[in-house]
Structures are given as structure tokens and as C-alpha cells.
Amino acid sequence: MERARSFGAVAEDYERYRPGYPESLVALVTEVADGPVRRAIEIGAGTGKATRTFAGAGIEVLATDPDAEMLAVLRRECAGLPVTTARAALEDLDPADHQPFDLLYAAAAWHWTAPVTRWDLATALVRAGGAVAFFGGPFELADDEVAGIEKELIAAYAPEGRHLPPPSPADAPMLFPGDEMLADDRLSDVRQREVPRRFSLARDDYVRHLDTISAIRILPADDRAALFADLARGLPERVEVRADLMLHTARRVGDVRDSQSPHSRGRPPA
Ligand SMILES: C[S@@+](CC[C@H](N)C(=O)[O-])C[C@H]1O[C@@H](n2cnc3c(N)ncnc32)[C@H](O)[C@@H]1O
């Protein structure tokens, strides 16, 4: 199974066992924009964990994701909020179909998008003075000793561990995607910040959460079952989890007319 498309099969588990995003993100992100942030597009919205955070603050969100099962859960969970949906990977979106947004954001999803087109698309989807924001972070056991036990147990089945290798070189001026944002002259005021997120979880819920991580999802079913049994034996009954978010933000530079295609100018919001 391709990793980027491995989530839908566990959409309900994803919704239940993955943590949400703190409300404090809304102010940190919207303060970056020049002018009000009324309309946003979310890339890789999944089951809508971050959609709720932004739509709950009154921002109209177009939540996009290529996975129909994730979007079905999102529609249910975001009922009553100012949310519309589109089944699309970033690469499927045509900026000409949309009036430029005040904000484009992605939670734990930007690394799945195609590097060659993502900045052309992101900057075309956002108005001049609008904001872009990307956040996410690994879900790690806070206790080093317990984390060591987990690492060893996982390595027996998934030698590369459960995280993607970091996409930025060690000497990059910022972590991904801040390094790419700094290199794009259509973006200004690039900032990298850390937003704390901590939890205490029952071991079983933690193990179910691991099953929503793509590096574990793609293991053969027998290996997954054996790994989960090993973890149930090896980890304490409750675990402390550190899931601090790395937040990257920037402002779209340029004249507002440059960011509206002739096709989209004057059209109602999509
Ligand atoms: C780890 S999940 C994050 C979901 C949600 N944003 C959250 O934080 O809970 C990654 C999501 O990215 C989506 N995805 C994968 N490839 C994508 C692409 N090329 N463009 C946009 N989304 C993509 C997947 O379908 C999945 O829902």
C-alpha cells in the first residue's frame, strides 16, 4: 500500500486515536495575514481534526483531501460548522477554480504533497497579504526509558522505525517546510515556532494510535498483530505522550491582482 494513501482504511481509528489541534493555533496563524482571515483552504484535511479548530473559530474552510473515507468522517465531525469539502490531492486543485483564499494551511499533510508543484499551487491559491501555515509533529513517548523499549519492539518489524526520515538536511536554516518557504520569494515573514501539546494515554489507546501511522499501517497484518501484542506486554499501563507541534507560517507577497487569475476574478467563493 502506498503510504500517502494508507489512511482511509483506518479513518475511524484515526479520528478516535489521533489528537486534535489547540485553539491557540488560530491566533498564531491569522495574525500573520494582512487583513481579515475569513476564508481558508485546508490541504490533506483527513478527518477534520484541524478543520474543527479553524472553522470553530468562525473561518469558512474548504477542506480538501484525496481520500473519500477520511472526508466522510470529516463531514460527520464538522456538521454545523462553516465547512465545505472537495475530494482532491493538492496536485488535483486548479487555482483558477477558486477565488484566492485568505489562508492556506495543512496539518500533518504537507510532506505528502509533490515538491515540484506545491509552492506554485499554494501561492496561487492565496491572496496577496494572505497567510500560509503548516503544522504537525511526531507523537513520542515522553519517558526516555519507555520510548527506548518501544523503539526496540518496533524496530523488529519496521527497521526504519515509525517516523518519516526528516526531509530537511541537518544544516538547513529551518526544519521542513520552513526551509522551502525561505527559498520562495513569493513568501515573506517566514517563521518557525513550537506549540506544546502533551497527553497522558491508556496503553491500549496509544497502541491503537500507532496503527494510524503510515509506517505501521503498511506492515503485513500478521506483523502488525505481533507488534501490538509485544507492545501490550512491554509498555506500562499508562503512557505520557509528547506531541509538540512545529508551526511554520508566512505571508503571501505581491499585488492582490497578481494572485487572482482572470478566470477567478469576480467569481463567488468556491
Ligand atoms: C497524517 S494525515 C493528516 C490528516 C489531518 N490533517 C490531521 O492532522 O489529522 C495526512 C492526510 O494527507 C492526505 N494526503 C496524502 N497525499 C496528499 C496530497 N498529495 N495532497 C493532499 N493531501 C494528501 C491523506 O489522505 C491524509 O488524510
pLDDT, tens only, 170-222: 778 899 999 999 999 999 999 999 999 998 999 999 998 888 888 888 899 99
Q: What is the pLDDT of residue 257?
A: 47
Q: How far is the CA of 2 from the centre of ligand 1 (A)?
A: 13
Predicted TM-score (pTM) of this structure: 0.87
Which residues does a 6 A CB cutoff place in the pocket of ligand 1? 4, 7, 18, 43-46, 49-50, 65-67, 70, 89-91, 107-109, 112-113
Rounded-to-integer distance, Cα 186 and Cα 43, Å? 19
* 242 touches 77 (CB < 8 A): no
Adjacent-strand bridge partners of 86: 64
| Cell numbers for 111 | 510532506
Q: Tell me the pLDDT band of 6, cut-offs 50, 70 and 90.
A: low
Q: How far is the CA of 163 from the centre of ligand 1 (A)?
A: 15
Q: Is the dihedral of CA 66, 70, 73, 79 positive or negative?
A: negative
Q: What separation, in Å, do the N-terminal and C-terminal C-alpha atoms of the chain show?
A: 33
Rounded-to-integer distance, Cα 39 and Cα 104, Å? 9
Q: What is the pLDDT of residue 211?
A: 85
Q: Tell me the pLDDT band of 4, cut-offs 50, 70 and 90.
A: low
- CB count in 10 Å sphere of residue 258: 15
Rounded-to-integer distance, Cα 208 and Cα 228, Å? 8
Which of these, 107, 100, 96, 93, lies nearest to 129 by C-alpha position? 100
Residue nearest to atom 9 of ligand 1 (CA): 49
CA–CA–CA angle 9, 203, 112 (5° rounding): 35
Q: What is the pLDDT of residue 163?
A: 66
Q: What is the pLDDT of residue 171?
A: 79
Q: What is the pLDDT of residue 264?
A: 38
Q: How far is the CA of 260 from the centre of ligand 1 (A)?
A: 26
Residue nearest to atom 25 of ligand 1 (CA): 67
Rounded-to-integer distance, Cα 113 and Cα 79, Å? 27
Q: Is the pLDDT of residue 37 over 80?
A: yes
Instruction: Label each residue of 62-130 as H, E or C.
Output: EEEECCHHHHHHHHHHCCCCCEEEEECCHHHCCHHHCCCEEEEEEECCHHHCCCCCHHHHHHHHEEEEE
Residue nearest to atom 11 of ligand 1 (CA): 44
Domains and CATH numbers, the chain: 3-141+165-199+242-256 (3.40.50.150)
Rounded-to-integer distance, Cα 14 and Cα 211, Å? 8
